[in-house]
Amino acid sequence: MGNLYNLLMQDVRFEEALKACMNCGVCTAICPAAEFYPYDPRKICDIVQRQNEEEIESLLRSDTIWYCGQCMSCKTRCPRGNIPGSLINILRKVSQELGYFADSRMGRQQCSIVDGVGRNILEIGYCVHPDRIDPDKHVEQGPIWRWYRENIEEIAPKLGANYHGDGPGALRTVRKENLEEIRKIFEATGGMELLEQIKREEPASEKSDKHKI
């Protein structure tokens, strides 16, 4: 039994994610990602199950493991009770820990996610927040987004939000002591180390000084 397979097995989710795949392909048939990308969860389960170290390594360095949308449709359909979506998560984690993700264009998007979602969680306590979604950088939000941001103080209360307020409610300011708790959870669970590891592997050409965790 090789090292990479061992690493995958050490993840607490592994036992539930891959019991015994019979290669039926039901997961691939139901998988929305397989319809749009060169992506096949059946094949991924098969590669891991065969414990072929070379193939597992190329999987960990490939774009393939980043195509899954984590919808978990595969979980409800697998006749053997496997969870391919969960196996993908384990592969992603090992790929991040070993720095293999940096070999893949899709994998390198992790660096932007650390700079965006990762920083937001640690600095303001939200994954995404209107204050952090600049209309000039997020044109996909459409023209109304700029108007919403410019008038948010007036609009937010009408939608029941507590924008920058104290106490409960959406968009409230997360207190300093709670932010400190979030940071401690990240530190205790290894989340902070993982974020830093991802940033360490970021190619120099894509690095930006302003993004520090």
- What distance in Å separates the CA atoms of residue 108 and residue 73, rounded to the nearest whole number? 26
Which C-beta is closer to ligand SF4: that of 42 or that of 186?
42
If binding is defined by CB under 6 A, does position 68 make contact with ligand SF4? yes
Question: Among positive and negative, which fits the CA dihedral 45, 28, 63, 198?
Answer: negative
Smallest gap from Cβ 87 to ligand SF4, in A, equals: 8
If binding is defined by CB under 6 A, does position 25 make contact with ligand SF4? yes
Q: Which of 84, 108, 118, 121 binds ligand SF4 (CB under 6 A)?
A: 84
Other C-beta atoms lying within 10 Å of the C-beta of residue 68? 25
In whole angstroms, what separates CA 4 from the centre of its chain? 21
In whole angstroms, what separates CA 81 from the centre of its chain? 23
Which C-beta is closer to ligand SF4: that of 45 or that of 195?
45
If binding is defined by CB under 6 A, does position 64 make contact with ligand SF4? no
- What distance in Å separates the CA atoms of residue 137 and residue 201, rounded to the nearest whole number? 24
Q: Which of 4, 7, 8, 31 binds ligand SF4 (CB under 6 A)?
A: 31
Which C-beta is closer to ligand SF4: that of 61 or that of 92?
92
**What's the Rg (C-alpha) of the chain?**
20
> Which residues in 86-105 contact ligand SF4 (CB under 6 A)?
88
Which C-beta is closer to ligand SF4: that of 62 or that of 82?
82
If binding is defined by CB under 6 A, does position 107 make contact with ligand SF4? no
If binding is defined by CB under 6 A, does position 128 make contact with ligand SF4? no
Written as six digits, the tokens of 82 are: 């496997």
If binding is defined by CB under 6 A, does position 23 make contact with ligand SF4? yes
Which residues neighbour 1 within 8 Å (Cβ) at sequence distance 6 or greater? Answer: 51
If binding is defined by CB under 6 A, does position 45 make contact with ligand SF4? yes
Which among 57, 60, 139, 40 is positioned nearest to 106, based on CA atoms?
60
Which residues contact ligand SF4 by CB under 6 A? 21-27, 30-33, 41-42, 45, 68-74, 78-80, 82, 84-85, 88
